[in-house]
Amino acid sequence: MRTKVAIIGAGPSGLLLSQLLNLAGIETVVLERKSRDYVLSRIRAGVLEWTTVQLLRAAGVGDRMDREGMVHDGCYLSSNNNMFRVDFHEACGKQVMVYGQTEVTRDLYDAQEALGATVIHDAEDVALHDLESDAPWVSYTIGGVPQRLDCDYVAGCDGFHGVSRPTIPEGVRREYEKVYPFGWLGILSRTPPVAEELIYAAHDRGFALASMRNPMLSRYYIQVPLTDRVEDWSDEAFWAELKLRLPEEACKSLITGPSIEKSIAPLRSFVTEPMRWGRLFLVGDAAHIVPPTGAKGLNLAASDVFYLSQGFKDFYGAGDAAGLEGYSQKALARIWKAMRFSWSMTTMMHRFPEHNAYERRMQDTEMAVLETSDTARKWMAENYTGLPY
């Protein structure tokens, strides 16, 4: 089999890249290690930057998002029961869309089927070959039978644990990482959200977040030590702890119910450089991970896809390789700004076991500056709603 661009991974970044390229007449083949049902069962974040919203519309997958997504003009922040609102629209003229990543992926699958694009599931033992040559290829197996895919380029959209990033030699890769000493315990419940917009709560007991997926599906998180296990937390214990951390005003309207999903996610910041080696390009989580505090994960993947798809369109349409050659540098410039934002939000909102009284007061002061400074709120709003591509 032969294609122009081999895409490793059928998550939202791989499917979105395939969608944009196929719309431009650039043939792709997507290889996915898991089944479609497995991919669609993964629970992920649901806050889309406005730049991501516009990119999904341009990809022809915005109709259901525009019908069912929830447009938010701001969010709430609280510090030990003092709650205030940051108005994104007032601060920078933009908004965000709350629409689950699972739904984005489902829409992309449907769009790929409508285009007749090739997505191969259950592709095991994927390996990348001759990436520094003019004739790269990908080997894999289906049901134990060896397969070969020849291509012009490879896009590694296979996540943090995929095969793409380790294919780049260690002497070439530079990796930057910060592992945080806590995780997020999250539950999903079929209950109405506690507020019309997200609530980010800093508390002496630890961070909490009240979020949602739709008007009858809520997502809540609390900061927990990395030593905690899901089994340590009953639904009743979770709701009780959440009520202690959310502001009293919000708790008055909190409706609890049985969890339909419960998990603990560790927090880390990670970036690898460069994002291109030979004919291989890294996209999304294959190249970078951010704490979920700033809602940047899926959105950074979308900006990677934008830069890379534009590069391929210029190359195949006009023979201009500048976009492909500059992909890594351009993507990383935006990534590091998002890293800074996610790091600052995480540092401000969470309780770190090693912090002393001075550092705790600095966290409180950061929150006070956001509450009282138009300049600080504008900076937060610009970063939260999405820096320009």
Among 13, 212, 33, 7, CA closest to 108:
13
The verdict on whether 192 is a catalytic residue reads no
Among 200, 220, 307, 327, the one annotated catalytic: 200
- In the sheet that holds 199-202, the strands lie side by side as 82-87, 74-79, 199-202, 208-214, 217-224, 174-189, 259-273, 288-289
Question: Among this protein's residues, is 72 annotated catalytic?
Answer: yes
Catalytic residue among 76, 109, 292, 330: 292
Is-catalytic flag, 292?
yes
In the β-sheet with 96-98, what is the strand arrangement from edge to edge?
A: 47-49, 96-98, 70-72
* 330 labelled catalytic: no
Record the tokens describing residue 372, joined without a space.
């009282």
Angle formed at CA 379 by CA 375 and CA 383, multiple of 5 degrees? 165
Catalytic residue of the set 296, 313, 330, 350: 296
- Among 72, 288, 313, 350, the active-site one is 72
Determine whether 313 is an active site residue. no
Task: State how far the Cα of 103 lies from the Cα of 86, in Å rounded to an integer.
Answer: 27
Which of 218, 172, 226 is closest to 194 using CA atoms?
Answer: 218
Pairing of strands 28-31, 118-120: parallel
Of the candidates 109, 221, 307, 384, the residue annotated as catalytic is 384
Residue 68: name the closest of 111, 102, 112 by CA: 102
Q: Which two tokens stand for residue 25?
A: 């007449």
* Proportion of the chain in helix, strand, coil states, percent, rounded to 5: 40, 30, 30
Residue 273 amino acid letter: E
Q: How far apart are CA 7 and CA 30, in angstroms?
A: 5
Residues annotated as catalytic (active site), given as ranges = 72, 200, 292, 296, 384
